[in-house]
Amino acid sequence: MRRLALLLFLLPLVLASHAAEEDAGTAALPFLRLGVGARALAMGEAYAADAHGVEAAVLNPAALANLRRYEVSFTHDEHLVETSFEFGAFGLPISGGEAGGVALAGRYLSYGEMQGYDQYGMPTE
């Protein structure tokens, strides 16, 4: 009976550790890992515990409870070739900040113009 109980206890742990890969979460939507806000980027994105302002909508949404005034934030990053990343957020305190705050945030990633080719290697529109 003890062996069965031990097996039932250890089996989920073994399966969970096997399912967790080193590169899990890196294949889809990698642009969601791009940092926002000058302060967070300057701190090497170790900013979740100290997040305040409207950037908290991305970094630590619970910190929006400390929002005391209207805030707007924009980020524009140029990356390789024609790739660019845009971020915008608007924060609104509720009842003058006494009841916390809400934010509306959006991200946009543009890969620029990409030349298409057909099966013969000829450029397409």
pLDDT tens column, 55-109? 888 888 888 888 888 999 998 988 888 889 999 999 999 887 788 889 999 989 8
Strand 123-124 and strand 116-117: the pairing is antiparallel
pLDDT tens column, 21-55? 556 556 667 777 777 877 878 887 777 777 778 88
Using DSSP's 3-state secondary structure scheme, residue 79 falls into coil
Token digits of residue 56: 């908290």
- With residue 31 as reference, give the H or E element that holds it: none
Q: What is the CA radius of gyration of the chain?
A: 22
The pLDDT of residue 104 is 92
Token digits of residue 69: 């005034």
Q: Which residues, in sequence order, are CB contacts of 41 under 8 Å at separation 6+?
A: 35
The pLDDT of residue 46 is 76
